[in-house]
Amino acid sequence: MNTSRASAPRASSRIRAMVRTVVARRDGAGPSGPAILGSGHRRRRAWGWVATLAALLTACGTAPPPPAPAPEAPASVPPVATAPAAPVPGTLQRSRSRWVPVAFDELPGWRDDRLADWWVAFRRGCERPAPGFAGLCAEAAGAPSADDGFLRLWLEQRLQPYRLEAMDGSAATGLLTGYFEPLVEAVRSPRPTHAVPLLMPPADLASRRPYWTRQQLDSLPAAQAGSRGREIAWVADPLDALVLQIQGSGRLKLTEPDGRQQTVRVAYAGHNDQPYKSVGRWLIDQGELKAEQASWPAIRDWARRNPKRVQEMLWANPRVVFFREEPLPDPGIGPRGAQGVPLTPGRSIAVDPQSVPYGTPVWVDATEPLSATPLRRLVMAQDTGSAIVGAVRADFFWGWGDEAEAKAGRTKQPLRMWALWPR
């Protein structure tokens, strides 16, 4: 028993060293056949990944020595078939995008990304994998911890990158914006200082399409009837309520009637079927802000200076979003996006699902907000939004907290995107 536990780590160390050597001198990798993983005990899955890596190294022209046998491992590991290089696939057409096949070398900064950070988002996405990703997700579920070099090689063997373009091929550059999960102080019962309600879907929401506008819900008793008793909590600032609605979810630092405090999440539960109108766009049209100034911090500053016009600004956006309350047992896990899996700060994006299916790995090339620092990394398409429409369009999830809010409110960058899809 002691002998087998010692030999397996030595084999693992040799494998990791070979990966680093190969990655350091390779320019790319051809495709290989799918790995055939053992089932049952964890040791079988670990040896399946050793076999997979051996096949990858063979595809690079390197002949590694076989790993040291471990008495506890199966007598033989099912071999991994190494297929000849696959032909370059053709261009793909989706409802709102054109996918053009390229080599991995076209992805700016591809060899510099910390793919181990992306691995967390990918494995969460495997809870609801995109079509064609079930096999890769099965491999990921049985994988040991992997470093950046191993993951890069693994991806190059299994996925084909595609440059995203408009349907007519006229535009390969689009727009990156940002979003975050707000944290707002709230109370369970209304107070003179906290009079803005966060609502569950009204009882009569399905009976009227479209439902009442924001202005009608604020001012007409008939419109307010369906929302009575549907209040989750009350906040002090109407702009805080608007931020929660625009972001689609948030955290409430909630004070209960008995004085207890807890943090809960409010998640998206529907809207009133009215069109979304940007209050930033309204301020630009009113001549109150210049286009380059229309960030969320600038909108808040304008509201502080113009309290008598805040209601007018809010009513310019007729859409109202309704919420449901959820517990927050782990504050380190993000809200669930449209894919139905938790979002990962810095590694999840919202996309147009008619351009990029949920669960797709996407390489983004942009810059950090208000700087020239490159923002080049592998992310996961795991959410959407009403303003996220088109082929090269993404909303970058920055996470939660003050820094995330500051970055999200200022993100408006030129963007290029590549989708990675199974070969």
**SS3 assignment for 265-324:** EEEEEEECCCCCCCHHHHHHHCCCCCHHHCCHHHHHHHHHHCHHHHHHHHHCCCCCEEEE
Residue 166 lies in a domain: no
Supply the CATH number for residue 315's domain: 2.40.240.50
Residue 132 lies in a domain: no
Domain boundary among 326, 361, 383: 326
- Report if pTM > 0.85: no
Residue 124 lies in a domain: no
Cα separation, 250 vs 235, in Å, equals 12
Residue 421 lies in a domain: no
Residues 307, 196 share a domain: yes
Report the pLDDT value the prediction gives residue 143, as an integer from 0 to 100. 77
Residues 208, 79 share a domain: no
Residue 292 lies in a domain: yes
Which of 422, 366, 420, 359 is closest to 393 using CA atoms? Answer: 366
Report the pLDDT value the prediction gives residue 286, as an integer from 0 to 100. 97
Cα separation, 370 vs 410, in Å, equals 7
Residue 370 lies in a domain: no
Residue 93 lies in a domain: no
Domain boundary among 326, 360, 383: 326
Domain boundary among 86, 121, 141: 86
* Cβ neighbours for 113, distance < 8 A, ≥ 6 positions apart: 148, 376, 377, 378
Report the pLDDT value the prediction gives residue 87, as an integer from 0 to 100. 54
Report the pLDDT value the prediction gives residue 41, as an integer from 0 to 100. 38
Note down the domain range covering 2: 1-86
Name the stretches of the chain with pLDDT < 70.
1-88, 144-145
Question: How many structural domains comprise the chain?
Answer: 2
Residue 7 CB neighbours (<10 A):
17
Report the pLDDT value the prediction gives residue 60, as an integer from 0 to 100. 41
Which of 161, 142, 148 is closest to 52 using CA atoms? Answer: 142
Report the pLDDT value the prediction gives residue 365, as an integer from 0 to 100. 98
Residue 139 lies in a domain: no
CA distances from 421 to 104, 157, 220 (A): 12, 11, 51
Cα separation, 248 vs 185, in Å, equals 17
**Three-state DSSP class for residue 372:** coil
Cα separation, 134 vs 126, in Å, equals 8
CA distances from 323 to 21, 107, 116, 240, 268 (A): 51, 39, 34, 14, 5
Report the pLDDT value the prediction gives residue 146, as an integer from 0 to 100. 76
Report the pLDDT value the prediction gives residue 8, as an integer from 0 to 100. 37
Q: How many residues does the chain have?
A: 423
Report the pLDDT value the prediction gives residue 276, as an integer from 0 to 100. 94
Cα separation, 280 vs 5, in Å, equals 62
Which of 276, 286, 283 is closest to 297 using CA atoms? Answer: 283
Residues 208, 82 share a domain: no
Residues 321, 196 share a domain: yes
